[in-house]
Amino acid sequence: MNINRTTAPEFKNIDSFELLPIETYELNNGIKVHLMQAGSQEVAKLDFLFPAGSVQASQPLLASITNKALSEGTVSMSGAEISEKIDFYGAFIGQQASFHHSVVTLVALTHFLPETLKILEDIIKNPVFEQKEIDTLLNKRKQEYLIESDKVKTLATRAFTQNLYGKEHPYGNYLTMDDFEKLTREDVINFHKQAYIPSGTHIIISGQPGSNIKELLNTHFGQHWSDEQPLKDPQPQNKEDVLRNIFVEKNDALQSSIKIGIPLFSKEHPDFHGMQILNAVLGGFFGSRLMTKIREEKGLTYGISSFIMTYKFGGFLVIGSDVKAENRELAVKEIFNEIKKLRDERIGNEELALVRNFLLGDMIRNFDGPFATSDNYRGLIDESLSPAYFNEFFDVLTSITAEELQNLAQKYFQETDFITVIAGK
């Protein structure tokens, strides 16, 4: 058989996007449940989002240590007993504090949900927060913090967010060794009492949780268990003294870490979807301009990328790369060249089609199945957005023009607005 290997086979464009149906209802006490029922395995994942993020917490480490310490002992079970039982059922409990919520995740085989949810109820409502357990968590966290502080990448990232949001607001990611000494058991107990409450709490369920899941959840979490209302989550103050150039010295570093970025806005901004696409062109995927130029043509780095970070209040775009010290100036110059090109020249048809098609495929991948869908959906709740956000992005993605992208670049990619942070030698 003679085949033509030089021409690509025919392909179909992705022309529709369907989000898995999301059923929403409330438990008897008003907790909001979001259910994505799908999948061929008898497995379910439940994310509990409490209004207990680092923004609600009044001091550093409070949200994350409270969240992690939940499973370290309750009035009826020791931490060892809890983990023993969860492991025996082959289940996993995940705990993570984000900015506006703290999350407790349960992943379990469907037929073990009754047993594991009962344990989860105890963890969430009746933790004892023994001093010893808090100390263990703080010691571990302190060591991780010190190890992270040895990485140029981390140093650059911290300098970048502190510069934008200051030392007071959690978005700034400012933490000192003193904070580890300041946190008391009293703080943890109080924060738990004020923030792990029915009001403002969401449960996201994905997979196949079984037909009786609503009853199960009402049994364990549907009663009235607290009168508290969610703590305030204040916006960061507008910072007057944002620096344009920052250098963080680390003499023993083999490579320098570069972060170049601009303050942007939250996902609600009308230009947000367009900026996501512009970001992809610049550095948002392997075929992006920065990756092509700085890695594939020049070999200056193992990796370079840009991404947009958003919060409930605000956001930023940042480009990041690690390069050897003597290539630093060159890399920075090339990055600004690529930014300038986006302002000065319209993106060609072929490139726009490629970015569009790649991002469409990426959307299908990001929403493939209930677990992937729920991961993306969870991010929306932290920023108080509705799922229509995804469909709007799809519409902008399929229709945006090269002219619109150039307008966005001219509006937001002004060289004087960029902040350059370098950590290293």
Partner 1 sequence: MINIEKRTLSNGLRVVVHVDKSTPLAAVNVLYNVGSKNENPNKTGFAHLFEHLMFGGSKNIPSYDAPLQMVGGDNNAWTSCDITNYYLTLPATNLETGFWLESDRMLELDFSEQSLEVQRKVVIEEFKQRYLNQPYGDIPLLLSPLAYKVHPYMWPTIGKDIAHIENATLDDVKSFFYSHYAPNNAVLSVSGNVDPAKVFQLAEKWFGPIPHRQLEEHQIQAEPKQTEKRQLEVERNVPADMIHKVFHIGARMDDDFYAVDLLSDILSNGPSARMNQSLVKEQQLFSEVNAYISGDHHPGLFTVTGRILPGVGMEKAEKAIQVELDRMTSKVVNDYELQKVKNKIESSLVFSEISFLNKAMNLASFELLGKAENINSEVDKYQAVSAQDILNSAQKTFTANNSSTLYYRSSK
For partner 1, the binding residue among 20, 61, 360, 408 (CB under 8 A) is: 360
Calculate the alpha carbon distances from 129 to 78, 101, 218 in Å: 10, 20, 26
Which residues between 32 and 61 bind partner 1 (CB under 8 A)? Answer: 38-43
For partner 1, the binding residue among 353, 388, 395, 401 (CB under 8 A) is: 353
**Please, what is the minimum distance in Å from the beta carbon of residue 106 to partner 1?**
12
For partner 1, the binding residue among 177, 242, 364, 388 (CB under 8 A) is: 364
Q: Which stretch binds partner 1 (CB under 8 A): 190-198, 231-239, 266-274, 355-363?
A: 355-363
Would you call 150 exposed, middle or buried from its count of C-beta atoms within 10 A (0-12, 13-18, 19+)?
exposed
For partner 1, the binding residue among 77, 275, 300, 347 (CB under 8 A) is: 300
Q: Which stretch binds partner 1 (CB under 8 A): 55-63, 173-181, 366-374, 411-419?
A: 366-374
**Please, what is the minimum distance in Å from the beta carbon of residue 113 to partner 1?**
12
Return the amino acid letter for 152.
V
Would you call 352 exposed, middle or buried from its count of C-beta atoms within 10 A (0-12, 13-18, 19+)?
middle
For partner 1, the binding residue among 49, 107, 277, 400 (CB under 8 A) is: 107
Count of residues of this chain found to bind partner 1 when the rule CB under 8 A is applied: 73
252 near partner 1, rule: CB under 8 A? yes
156 near partner 1, rule: CB under 8 A? no
What does residue 297 show for φ and ψ, rounded to 5 degrees? Answer: -95, -45
Listed in sequence order, the residues at least 6 apart from 54 whose beta carbon sits closer than 8 Å to its beta carbon are 60, 62, 63, 64, 97, 98, 99, 170
Q: How far apart are CA 149 and CA 164, in angstroms?
A: 19
89 near partner 1, rule: CB under 8 A? yes
369 near partner 1, rule: CB under 8 A? yes
Three-class SS state of 112:
helix
Return the amino acid letter for 371.
F
Q: Enter the tokens of residue 46.
A: 């439940």
For partner 1, the binding residue among 116, 157, 255, 373 (CB under 8 A) is: 255
Q: Which stretch binds partner 1 (CB under 8 A): 23-31, 212-220, 297-305, 377-385?
A: 297-305
- Distance between the two ends of the chain, CA-based, in angstroms? 59
For partner 1, the binding residue among 224, 232, 333, 365 (CB under 8 A) is: 365
